[in-house]
Chain A
Amino acid sequence: MYVGRERPTGGFELFAWFFMRISGVVLILLVLGHLAIMHVINTVDEIDFEFVAARWRSPFWRTYDLVMLWLALLHGLNGLRMVIDDYVHRKGWRVVTLTALALVGFVLLTMGTQIILTFEAPASRATAGLP
């Protein structure tokens, strides 16, 4: 293949496609780990506020959850964007659905990120005001 002339580079669609591949592979590991910790190693009966607070005392698990949140949400949002691209052809509806998708994505991403970053683990249940 001849490469002398300048080739098209970048572009949002190319980036989105590549992101889906990378995030997909990383998510397999992160989500399996998450499932193992939250549903297999520890049963649902053992998981309570204290359990989550204890996990989030460690920066490692906060980073883990933050990365998982961003990758999973963006992966899912981009998937929905593709579905809209495929099936919503009328211009007005495209604007409405894509705007709604972006808004929902922004709100969820902001809320999730804020909680993960600013959550302060109380010393015990009592100080958290829980029974």
Chain B
Amino acid sequence: MRVVLKIKRFNPERDREPYWAEYEVDVEPVDRVLDALEYVKWHLDGTLAFRRSCAHGICGSDAMLINGRNRLACKVLVKELGARITVEPLRGFPVIKDLVVDMEGFFAKYRAIKPYLINDEPPPETERRQSPEERARFDDTTKCILCAACTTSCPSFWANGEYIGPAAIVNAHRFIFDSRDRGAAERLAVLNARLGVWRCRTIFNCVEACPRGIDVTRAIAEVKRALLFSSL
């Protein structure tokens, strides 16, 4: 099957503006978009830059805008998209080159919500035990791979890049509702700020974008509710 890959390219050392480049690629229908991109890089134009690591939907490196939707290039099959495939870098981040974006601000917000177990009680002899129900409470948000597909699909984030964004809130949720963790207060304080959780307008783009199927807007709503009910 022959497809046309239309890729938004930009090299800050050479280009003043991003431009579209088209490549014709022969692929199998069950090839992934990532395979097509690799074909371009390896056989047609070695200057094309994109990130990928595991290539199996776990590392979260190759999130990009494919046919107008945020997806992982390694999880979308060519046959799902048809003969013309447009690929752009994630929106809302500075472009370093081609499909590679600067995610420093994204990870700074991730670090701001303290994404690690906080518990200064003396460790028990065996382990910190948890019932299946307690574990299920935050199961959904453990699935995040930090690909930034949710945050860069969020209009609130596009409008104001200082907004902490859905990905950071999802990862805060993962610890706030963990029965072993004692850091909920610190995390909720960060999320209660002007650019915290209240910027969310429940647009649901994040839910649609998440390649892991996380119910992101629900997680955000649960954090809002936790803040509200601890204040009432």
Residues of A within 8 A of B (CB): 1-11, 13-14, 16-18, 85-87, 89
Among the 9-residue stretches B6-14, B175-183, B203-211, the one with 4 or more Cβ atoms under 8 Å from chain A is B175-183
Q: A2-B184, A8-B188, A14-B192 are in contact. List 17 more A-B contacts (CB 8 A).
A: A1-B137, A2-B182, A5-B184, A7-B185, A7-B188, A8-B185, A9-B230, A9-B231, A10-B231, A13-B192, A13-B193, A13-B198, A14-B228, A17-B224, A85-B194, A86-B199, A87-B159
CA distance A59 to B153 in the complex (A): 50
Closest 3 CB pairs of A and B: A86-B159, A7-B230, A8-B189
Residues from chain B with Cβ under 8 Å of A18 in the complex: 228
Contact present for A8 and B194 (CB under 8 Å): no
Which of A1, A4, A5, A17 is in CB contact (< 8 Å) with B226?
A: A1
The reply to whether A6 and B156 form a contact with Cβ atoms under 8 Å apart is no
A and B contact pairs by CB, cutoff 8 A, 26 listed? A1-B179, A2-B179, A2-B181, A2-B182, A2-B184, A4-B182, A5-B184, A7-B188, A7-B226, A8-B188, A8-B192, A8-B227, A10-B231, A11-B193, A13-B196, A14-B227, A14-B228, A17-B224, A18-B228, A85-B194, A85-B199, A86-B156, A86-B159, A86-B160, A86-B199, A87-B159
Chain A residues whose C-beta falls within 8 Å of the C-beta of B199 in the assembled complex: 85-86
Which residues on the A side are within 8 Å of B179 (C-beta)?
1-2
Residues of A within 8 A of B188 (CB): 7-8
Docked complex Cα distance between A59 and B228 (Å): 34
Nearest A residue to B179, CB-CB: A2
A4 proximity list for chain B (CB < 8 A): 182
List residues 136-159 of chain B with CB under 8 A from any CB of chain A: 137, 156, 159
Knowing A18-B228, A89-B160, the reply to whether A5 touches B198 (Cβ < 8 A) is: no
Chain B positions within 8 Å of A9 at CB level: 230-231
Residue numbers of B with Cβ under 8 A of A are 137, 156, 159-160, 176-177, 179, 181-182, 184-185, 188-189, 192-194, 196, 198-199, 224, 226-228, 230-231
Q: How many inter-chain residue pairs (CB < 8 Å) link A and B?
A: 59
CB–CB A17/B231 < 8 A:
no
Evaluate contact between A17 and B160: CB separation under 8 angstroms: no
* Bound complex: CA A41 to CA B24 (Å): 66
Residues of B contacting A13 in the complex (Cβ-Cβ under 8 angstroms): 192-194, 196, 198
Say whether A5 contacts B159, CB under 8 Å.
no
Query: How far apart are the CA atoms of A7 and B224 in the complex, in Å?
Result: 13
Residues from chain A with Cβ under 8 Å of B181 in the complex: 2
Among B137, B177, B179, B228, which residue has the most Cβ atoms of chain A within 10 A?
B228
B194 cross-chain contacts in A, Cβ below 8 A: 13, 85
Q: Which residues of B contact A89 (CB under 8 A)?
A: 160
Kindly provide the distance from the CB of A47 to the nearest chain B CB, expressed in whole angstroms. Answer: 36
Known: A4-B182, A7-B185. A16 touches B230 (CB 8 A): no
A92 to chain B, nearest CB (A): 17
> Using Cβ atoms and an 8 Å threshold, which residues of chain A touch B227?
8, 14
Residue numbers in A under 8 Å from B228 (CB-CB):
14, 17-18
- How many angstroms between the C-alpha atoms of A1 and B224 in the bound complex? 14
Which B residues are in CB contact (< 8 Å) with A17? 198, 224, 228
- Counting chain A CB atoms within 10 Å of each CB, the highest count among B181, B185, B189 belongs to B185
Q: Which residues of A contact B192 (CB under 8 A)?
A: 8, 11, 13-14
Residue of B nearest to A21 (CB): B228
